[in-house]
Amino acid sequence: MKKFAIALSILATLSTPALAAGDAEAGKTKAVICSACHGVDGNSMIDMYPKIAGQHQAYLNKQLHDLRKAAHTGGAEGRNDPMMSPMAAALSDQDIDDLAAYFASQKHNENAATDVPPLGEQLYKGGDPVRGITACIACHGPTGQGNEAAGFPALASQHANYIKIQLNKFHSATRNNDLNGMMQDVAKKLTAEDMEALSKYISSIK
Ligand code: HEC
Ligand code: HEC
């Protein structure tokens, strides 16, 4: 019996994938409490709440761990938000894996077309060498798809208002859960006009 248990635990170690597996079906059931703000399938209707449908599983996983950490440390560590951190406080590791798997398996919808200031696309694709602003495209990709392995989130079709809120948070270091401060480094150089233009451009990427 003991040998069997050891063999099983070795097998479990060997078969653990690099990314947490998660069960999307179980996640769907657990996602009921999230739907009030993020929508049933992760396409939130209210533009201050992020769309999380189709976001990378590893990114969703990291954010939920960071949000939970903030709830457990009184905001000293992780990602602190008065509305969302408490929502993550009681999630288990398994809940996080399942919820991330579920929302990642959904498809994000597109936003209605609006006027996009040219400055947004210009900064996104070219940055501003004079002001030392790295082009967003370098990490978030030409179509805003990000890079899951590198931890760069997808941005395409996100709500402009949510993007603007996050850029302001990185700008003021209110959100500082980015590895090596790489997002804060970029955001601290952005003006309010830059952030407005970037948010509108990014939300228009399909
Ligand atoms: C009362 C509204 C509300 C509820 C309910 C809620 N959230 Fe959130 N969620 C938010 C807000 C607001 C943010 C943005 C936080 C910030 O500004 O840092 C957020 C952010 C997130 C993020 C980060 C997204 C990103 O793009 O970085 C994830 C992941 C997330 N929520 C998952 C969940 C899950 C899973 C549940 C259910 C267990 C849930 N949320 C329930 C309001 C809510
Ligand atoms: C060096 C790589 C890098 C560059 C350049 C970069 N980002 Fe990011 N960005 C990141 C990382 C990493 C994160 C996620 C941090 C985390 O783990 O929470 C992020 C997160 C974000 C988020 C939050 C997404 C969400 O769902 O909450 C927004 C918005 C964003 N970036 C916009 C931009 C814009 C606009 C630019 C260009 C001005 C830019 N980024 C340039 C690496 C980068």
> Could you read off the pLDDT of 8-59 as tens digits, one per residue?
444 444 444 445 689 999 999 999 999 999 999 999 999 999 999 999 999 9
Whole-number Å distance between alpha carbons of 127 and 186: 10
pLDDT in tens, 146-188: 999 999 999 999 999 999 999 999 999 999 999 999 999 999 9
Which pLDDT score, from 0 to 100, does residue 15 have?
A: 42
The separation between the first and the last C-alpha atoms of the chain, rounded to the nearest angstrom, is 55
Query: pLDDT band at residue 90, thresholds of 50, 70 and 90?
Result: very high
Q: Which ligand is nearest to the CA of 67?
A: 1
Q: How far is the CA of 18 from the centre of ligand 1 (A)?
A: 25
What is the pTM for the complete model shown?
Answer: 0.93
What was the pLDDT predicted at 13? 43
Give tens-digit pLDDT for 116-136: 999 999 999 999 999 999 999
CB 59 within 8 Å of CB 69? no
Residues lining ligand 1, CB < 6 A?
33-34, 36-38, 49-50, 52, 55, 60, 63-64, 79, 81, 83-84, 87, 99, 165, 175
Determine the residue of 32, 37, 81 to mutate for testing ligand 1's pocket, defined as the one with the most ligand atoms within 8 A of the Cβ atom. Answer: 37
In single-letter form, the type of residue at position 97 comes to D
pLDDT confidence of residue 171: 98
